[in-house]
Amino acid sequence: MESKETIQGFYLRNASVERLESDKSAGVGHFNVFTRESCSLLTPYSRRDYYKISLIIGKGKLHYADKWIYVDRPALLFSNPVVPYSWEADDEDQTGWFCLFTDQFLQNGTRLGNLQDSQLFKIGGTPIFFVDKDQQKTISDLFIKMMSEIESEYMHKYDMLRTCLHLLIHETMKMHPAENFEPYQNASHRVASLFMELLERQFPIDSPEAFLKLKTPNDYAQSLSIHVNSLNRSVKEMTGKTTSQQIASRITQEASALLKHTDWNISEIAYGLGFEEPAYFTNFFKKQTGLAPNTVRTTVV
């Protein structure tokens, strides 16, 4: 799984779409809207650091860590910075629209609560809504309005865009979310594979300042948007080791590489690997290898 995609990363991945120049009337945050013809047919499984609302007209599969759903008719998809997902189109006939925005943009000048606590974006919620013909027209008209406004010279256009976003959210809250998600036939294998891929992506540590972000099983479970008990069960079932043992083993492997192939001192290695104190790292390394860190460094040939 890739690291969290930033807005800048989105524009790099989708080179055909245009990033608007900053506009004073936008206020804080970021907003943009596109047709889905500019989307890639396969998006990487990852989290994003922005919110996204898509009207999907086209067939494909929406993948989460432990379940998936087949989208075979028009649907609204709500994604947020916490829950990772990927989209796999079934064919090239993909139309519709999507907008991406930050929490700061939507909250600007309003009294909305935390978006991640809302019905549409919360963890564990159902983020996809199949729409009928009337609902599709209503939602399409809102996206068309946003496409028109963002190209206009109206000085308060971003206030209009915020209003359209609010209308889009409220129209969706009248709908019933999809319920036909399917579990993976081998969910444990998928969860364990996603964990091992995410674990490996934390390395190598290129500098002491690029410290380890995910340290505990709970950190990884939150990043994958699954319960830590489900993660622990899957990793143990598929690898024979606990999640903690897998993390400790990989940190030990990285520590050995840093001791042998860099001139970082023990403190720099400790902090880079997420230890609060060098002594904690020394004790950890001794427990894992039976050797002191300095011993590994001095025995390099």
Give the 3-state DSSP-derived string for 13-25, with helices as H, strands as E and coil as C. Answer: HCCCCCCCCCCHH
Sheet containing 182-183: order of strands? 86-89, 60-63, 67-71, 182-183
Judge if 70 and 82 occupy the same domain. Answer: yes
Domain assignment present for residue 135? The answer is: yes
User: CATH number for the domain including 216?
Assistant: 1.10.10.60
Domain that holds residue 52: 7-182
Global pTM value: 0.66
Q: Which of 55-69, 74-88, 102-116, 253-267 has the lowest mean pLDDT?
A: 102-116
pLDDT at 1 over 70: no
Q: At what angle do helices 217-224 and 243-261 cross, to 10 degrees?
A: 110
Judge if 190 and 64 occupy the same domain. Answer: no
What residues does 34 pair with on adjacent strands?
Answer: 98
Judge if 40 and 144 occupy the same domain. Answer: yes
| Span 250-290, pLDDT tens digits | 999 999 999 988 999 999 999 999 999 999 999 999 999 99
Judge if 90 and 207 occupy the same domain. Answer: no
Of 182, 206, 241, which residue sits at a domain end? 182
Judge if 173 and 188 occupy the same domain. Answer: no
Judge if 77 and 203 occupy the same domain. Answer: no
The model's confidence at residue 184, banded by pLDDT at 50, 70 and 90, is: confident
The model's confidence at residue 2, banded by pLDDT at 50, 70 and 90, is: very low
Judge if 49 and 87 occupy the same domain. Answer: yes
User: CATH number for the domain including 152?
Assistant: 2.60.120.280
Judge if 107 and 139 occupy the same domain. Answer: yes
Domain assignment present for residue 1? The answer is: no
Q: Which of 122-126, 239-243, 265-269, 272-276 has the lowest mean pLDDT?
A: 122-126
Are 127 and 116 spatial neighbours (Cβ–Cβ below 8 Å)? no
Q: What is the pLDDT of residue 149?
A: 95
Q: What is the pLDDT of residue 12?
A: 79
Q: In total, how many domains does the chain have? A: 2
Domain assignment present for residue 131? The answer is: yes
Of 182, 204, 225, which residue sits at a domain end? 182
Place of tokens 């294998």: 189
Domain assignment present for residue 267? The answer is: yes
Q: What is the pLDDT of residue 59?
A: 95
Helix (H, G, I), strand (E, B) or coil at 226: coil
Judge if 156 and 261 occupy the same domain. Answer: no
Q: Which of 82-91, 96-105, 107-116, 233-242 has the lowest mean pLDDT?
A: 107-116
Nearest to 165, CA basis, from 17, 48, 31, 28 = 31
